Amino acid sequence: MQPDPSIAFTAVDESHMPTLFGWLSQQHVRRWWGEPEKELKLIRDGCLTGEVEGFVFSVDGEPAGYIQSWLPTQYESEPWAKDLTPDTPGVDIFVGPPDMIGKGVAPVVIRAFAARLFAGTAPRIIIDPDAENKQALRAYAKAGFTPYGEWNDSTGRTILMELTRTEFERMS
C-alpha cells in the first residue's frame, strides 16, 4: 500500500450485497463475524433501518472492505455500553480481500472513518474486538485506539478500546 492511499466510503446499498457476502464468506472474516447469511442480513437490515451506517470502503479505487458505525447505548444486549454517552459511536470493520490482510489497510481506513465521526458530535469512538483477535487489536492500536476495559460473557472476552476526539486531534 502506498504511504497516503486514497480512501473512499460508499454507503451500502443492495448492489453491494453480493460483494459483502463474498467477503463475509472468507475465512479471515467469517472467523470473527460469524455465519455469512446471518451477518449479511444484519448488515442489510441495519443499513435499511438506520440502525447502523454501513459503508463499503475503497483503497486507491479498489473495494477493500466494510465499516459501520452504530450507537452501543441503543442495545441492552451490550451491557458494557451502559456507561457510554448516547453520542458515542461504536465501529466495526473488516478487510474483505484476503490479499489485503496484513498490509496496513485497517488502521488507515479507521483513521479516515474516525475523521468523519469526529466531524460530527462524537466525543469518542468505541471498538470492541474479541480478545483473541490479535491482528485486530494491533490494527486498532495503530489507528490510535487504547484499551479502557474488557467484558467477559458466555461468548468470550471482549477488549473495549477507545479513541477520544482529543487524542485523535493530537495524532492528526
Global pTM reads 0.94
Mean per-residue pLDDT, 60-76: 94
Q: Quick one: pLDDT at residue 2?
A: 58
The CA-CA-CA angle for residues 152, 24, 66, to 5°, reads 85
Residue 4: pLDDT above 80? Answer: no
Residue 37: pLDDT above 90? Answer: yes
- Of 138, 134, 132, 137, which is closest to residue 152 (Cα–Cα)? 132
Q: What is the pLDDT of residues 139-169, one digit of tens each?
A: 999 999 999 999 988 888 999 999 999 999 9
Average pLDDT value over all residues in the chain:
94
Quote the CA–CA distance of 56 and 87 in Å, as a whole number: 23
Architecture of domain 7-123: 3-Layer(aba) Sandwich (3.40)
Q: Quick one: pLDDT at residue 155?
A: 80
* Residue 129 pLDDT level (bands cut at 50, 70, 90): very high
- Which class for 52: exposed (0-12), middle (13-18), buried (19 or more C-beta within 10 A)? buried
Q: Which of 29-33, 74-78, 139-143 has the lowest mean pLDDT?
A: 74-78
DSSP 8-state symbol, 13: -
**Ranges of each domain in the chain:** 7-123
Residue 48 backbone dihedrals phi, psi, to 5 degrees? -65, -40
**Residue 50: left (phi > 0), alpha (psi -120 to 50), or beta?**
left
Quote the CA–CA distance of 36 and 33 in Å, as a whole number: 8
Residue 1: pLDDT above 60? Answer: no
* 52 SS3 class: strand
- 8 A C-beta contact, residue 89 and residue 71: yes
Which position has the higher pLDDT, 1 or 41?
A: 41
